[in-house]
Structure 1
Amino acid sequence: MPGQQGAAAPLERVVVAMAEQRGHVGGRLHADLTSHIPSYRAVPRELLDQIWHRHFQRALAVLREGTVPAPEEFDEADVAWDRVARGVPLGDGLRAFRRALSAIRDLFLAEAAERGLDPVLVVDRTKCLWELADVASLRIAAVHRQAEVASALLDARRRADFVRGLLYGTLSAAEIHSGAVIYGLHPSQRYRAIRAVPNGDADPDTLERSLESHSRRYGEGALLTVVGEAVAGVVQVKPEAGDLEVTAGLGPPTDLTAVHRSFRAAGRLLEAARAYGLRGVYDLSDLSWRVAVVAEPDLAELLLDRYLRPLEAEGEFGALIEESVRDYLEKGRRIRDVARSAHVHANTVRYRLRRFEELTGASLDAPDTVVELSWALAARALRTPPRHAARRARPRLPTGFQ
């Protein structure tokens, strides 16, 4: 149309005049951003100049054509990833973009006024710039959030890979040191490997957050990850399970470079604790030799045959004998304490103990008998049916568990 053709030449002169000032306006904008948006001080000047050039050229195209590109035409993924990596919040990125568009708008208005551009055209192109700001802001926000999610997932994978490498002994000393610094561990301090499984309604993710939160609440280092249905990692102190239903094995303290050995111990302790139906966090001082009962089933069978199965022929009385023998060991071989606990006469206890010796041919005064019988009783506890009606209660175990 004639009107549009007549306006094209003055508009182009305005656009050309603006293009000549791109570097000067960009310099002022850089100073403005680093002064008013502190997070942008981490962005190198050359990167800001590249993005400024992109925004500036896009704005000039909008001024020339009078149309705004569709959202999908805005390729801001590289900028979003860079800002996320540098810790620039989305709000700061949007503020910086709007300051850039405001600088372009002010430059347009100044050049349009100096060259007498048609006021109707000035209003139209100013509206286009504001529409560009809205469309681009939405697109920037969308790709920034996508980059944040992707970055978080990548960080989580890297974190999990580091924890697994630490626990399985596949990292070099240099990798352990650098990873420890990144994830808040102290390379010079000692840590304990932990392997934990949730019970009840708890899930591994909740358990991970709970155990790590407990450690950090007391100023202690911890790094955990979910491995299948379990949680594994390193802690500095023994976590308190609290109300959370969990069974966990805790390895001995060691340097980070040797924590894979602690992790193997934690696995054996977890296996033992689960076999006994325990709830809570257990280390070697809690379970002691009972860990070996789980690992040596053939020996357990031998000792069950030797000390407990001969009692089964006595029926209910055999069960009472076993109960008295168990209490006798747990109470330091004090007969009166056993009688008081069972609400029977001391002579009744003596009779049951004597009958045990007759049936098994063993002497309760012999050290080997005490050791082997304790092992057999611990093995018996492994064969106790689960207490479905009272899952929160700790099952009764041989000496040392109570």
Structure 2
Amino acid sequence: MTTPDLPAGPAAHTAISAATAARFDAILDELARDESIADAVIDRGRAQFPAYASVPSADLIEAVGRNRALAIQTLRSGVIPPPEQIWEAALSTHQRLAQGLSITDIMGGFRESLREIQSRVIARTSERGLDPQIALRASTLLWDLGDTFSARISLAYREIQIADEVARKQEQEQWIRRLLAGDLTDAEHRAAGARLSEAGPIRAVVTGPLPVPLSAPLPDTLYLDQGRAAGYLPADQTLPDTISYSEGSLGDWHTLPESHRLAQQLQAAAELLGRQGRNTLADLSWRIGVPASPSLNEFLRRSYIEPVLAEGEFGALILDSIRAFIGHGLRVDAAAKSLPVHPNTLRYRMQKFEELTESSLGEFDTLVEVAWALAVAGGSEDQRVV
């Protein structure tokens, strides 16, 4: 019961007797038992917000009961609970959104509950001759409660939106994973046909480690996985220059699993060779086989790299020179200019390479093997095999 010396409830904020406070508490007790409040709120709510017609009456009666209990608790205490403690708002928001109502409908429905309680408080305090200030204080509390309840509805709505977006993203990610793996269910297979049949040519994409932060959001057709991304893109779309990635073969959605495997192989080769930016099969060509040939890589390294590096710093210069020679289409003058050294200096280094490796750069097989060995060995980007 509210008494004059307790700072709680509308009656406690006016200079009234304990008897008057008890009479106000009695009004609140009556409202707590008044089941007709639900009928009035539901009738007026459905008239104001037609969407409530689709909500079962039992659900609305339960919700009005929660709202009434919250309002009476607030009137007794004289304290508006903080938004995060108003669980009733979060529950109603989840339930009504699931039933197809809008956030405006949800807020409006709660205010109808408060409006009905307010009108009955005003009527009963007047009938029983209570100080009008009590009804005024009660009205102020109820409207403040309405604002706080609405704030909690907005917060719950935002939380639901975020959760729905996360769920949508996760579902999209799993769908793309299965699409690239060729592991769609029959239903998903039909959906993919309807979804992608008119998309035109597409190809799989696999990125290297993504820069942080990204200069622009990734397309929705890519998913993130441990700092990388994979997915598919239409023929006319590329990723920003700041992202290193590889593209599989172009085709329709049926060929995406094969395109994805190719993109994975290309990206593995690109990272092993230190290539940045966009990579295609046309760019990497035979180099795609480097990561998958460890035994061959080791053999060529022992044959063409180790004997030269045994010469120390001069050996490193020799390898740089051979890279330039092969990278410039076997043109001595162009390769020498790129280093830059005199053409005769380049010829001397080439001769030393042949002596150290017991090979001839004039033989086609040797050139192929040396190019492969240099790709495995690595080097500066401007001297790497291109």
Q: Which residue is equivalent to 2:42?
A: 26
2:76 aligned to 55, 67, 79, which one?
67
The 5 A counterparts of 1:3-402 are 23=39, 26-34=42-50, 45-47=53-55, 49=57, 52-58=60-66, 67=76, 74-84=87-97, 90=103, 92=104, 95-101=107-113, 103-104=115-116, 108=120, 116=127, 118=129, 120=131, 122-123=135-136, 126=139, 129-130=142-143, 132-134=145-147, 136-137=149-150, 139-175=152-188, 178=191, 186-189=196-199, 190-198=201-209, 202-203=211-212, 206-207=213-214, 210=216, 212=218, 215=219, 222-236=220-234, 239-242=238-241, 244=242, 246-312=243-309, 318-357=315-354, 359-381=356-378, 384=379, 394=381, 396-398=383-385, 400=386
Quote the offset at 1:342 in angstroms: 4.4
Contact preservation (8 Å) 2:41, 2:64: no
- Taking structure 1 as reference, are residues 150 and 10 closer, same or farther at Cα in structure 2, changes over 3 Å only? closer
- Taking structure 1 as reference, are residues 53 and 333 closer, same or farther at Cα in structure 2, changes over 3 Å only? same
Contact preservation (8 Å) 1:193, 1:234: yes
TM value normalised by structure 1:
0.68
Cα RMSD of the aligned pairs, angstroms, is 4.5
Distance in 2, Cα, partners of 1:116 & 1:191 = 76
Question: Structure 2 counterpart of 1:241, which letter?
Answer: P
Quote the offset at 1:302 in angstroms: 2.2
Quote the offset at 1:89 in angstroms: 6.5
- Taking structure 1 as reference, are residues 84 and 149 closer, same or farther at Cα in structure 2, changes over 3 Å only? farther
- Taking structure 1 as reference, are residues 142 and 51 closer, same or farther at Cα in structure 2, changes over 3 Å only? farther
Quote the offset at 1:397 in angstroms: 0.9
- Taking structure 1 as reference, are residues 328 and 102 closer, same or farther at Cα in structure 2, changes over 3 Å only? same
Question: Structure 1 counterpart of 2:372, which letter?
Answer: W
- Taking structure 1 as reference, are residues 12 and 64 closer, same or farther at Cα in structure 2, changes over 3 Å only? farther
Quote the offset at 1:348 in angstroms: 4.5
Distance in 1, Cα, partners of 2:286 & 2:38 = 78
Contact preservation (8 Å) 2:96, 2:106: no
**Residues 223-266 of structure 1: CA deviation (Å, up to 9, x unaligned):** 22322233233333553433x4x433332234445433333322
Question: Structure 2 counterpart of 1:26, which letter?
Answer: I
Question: Structure 2 counterpart of 1:160, which letter?
Answer: E
- Taking structure 1 as reference, are residues 140 and 334 closer, same or farther at Cα in structure 2, changes over 3 Å only? closer
Contact preservation (8 Å) 1:163, 1:223: yes
Quote the offset at 1:292 in angstroms: 0.9
Q: Percent identity, please.
A: 27
- Taking structure 1 as reference, are residues 321 and 86 closer, same or farther at Cα in structure 2, changes over 3 Å only? farther
Answer with 93-102 or 273-282: which moved more. Answer: 93-102
Question: Structure 1 counterpart of 2:324, which letter?
Answer: D
Contact preservation (8 Å) 1:101, 1:129: no
- Taking structure 1 as reference, are residues 87 and 367 closer, same or farther at Cα in structure 2, changes over 3 Å only? farther
**Residues 295-346 of structure 1: CA deviation (Å, up to 9, x unaligned):** 2121122233444444456665554544443322222222332344445554
Quote the offset at 1:378 in angstroms: 1.1
Q: Which residue is equivalent to 2:8?
A: none
- Taking structure 1 as reference, are residues 296 and 58 closer, same or farther at Cα in structure 2, changes over 3 Å only? closer
Structure 2 runs not aligned, ≥5 long: 1-17
Question: Structure 2 counterpart of 1:396, which letter?
Answer: Q
Structure 1 runs not aligned, ≥5 long: 35-40, 216-221, 388-393
Contact preservation (8 Å) 1:290, 1:375: yes
Question: Structure 2 counterpart of 1:397, which letter?
Answer: R
Alignment partner of 2:246: what SS?
A: strand
Distance in 2, Cα, partners of 1:346 & 1:12 = 104
- Taking structure 1 as reference, are residues 211 and 364 closer, same or farther at Cα in structure 2, changes over 3 Å only? farther
Quote the offset at 1:347 in angstroms: 4.4
Distance in 2, Cα, partners of 1:380 & 1:27 = 80
Contact preservation (8 Å) 2:37, 2:117: no
* Number of matched pairs: 360
Alignment partner of 1:369: what SS?
A: helix
